[in-house]
Amino acid sequence: MSINATYRMTGVAKSTVLKLLVDLGGACRKHHDQHVCNLKCRRVQCDEVWPFVACKDKNVLPDEEGFGRGSIWTWTALDAESKLIAAYHVGTRDTGCAYES
């Protein structure tokens, strides 16, 4: 669901929805980093997801480049048996980011 649809549906301000997303994302990251460690995975499946922020790369204006707009890649490493996300990395689609996850 989009942010605009969320604030229209709930009746709260758009800035409140955005703040909640930032706070929730930080809490999820902290929980994952504290509790998902020392795994004994026998098989790991890796994949990437390609969303975009605000617009696709071809529509990013020159003065908006480098401000978090355009394509972004979420790299995941999944335990094949439990389906637990063992590791993740958000970045670009290059070899460095693939190895980071």
Q: What is the per-residue pLDDT across 32-90, written as a single tens digit (0 to 9) for each?
A: 999 999 999 999 999 989 888 888 888 888 887 777 788 888 999 999 999 999 999 88
In this structure, the number of other CB atoms found within 10 A of the CB of residue 43 comes to: 8
pTM > 0.75: yes or no: no
Q: Which long-range contacts (CB under 8 A, 24 or more apart) does 29-32 make?
A: 32/85, 32/88
Place of tokens 């590791």: 87
Helix 3-10 vs helix 14-35: crossing angle, to nearest 10: 110
E strands, the chain, in order: 44-49, 52-53, 70-71, 73-79, 85-91
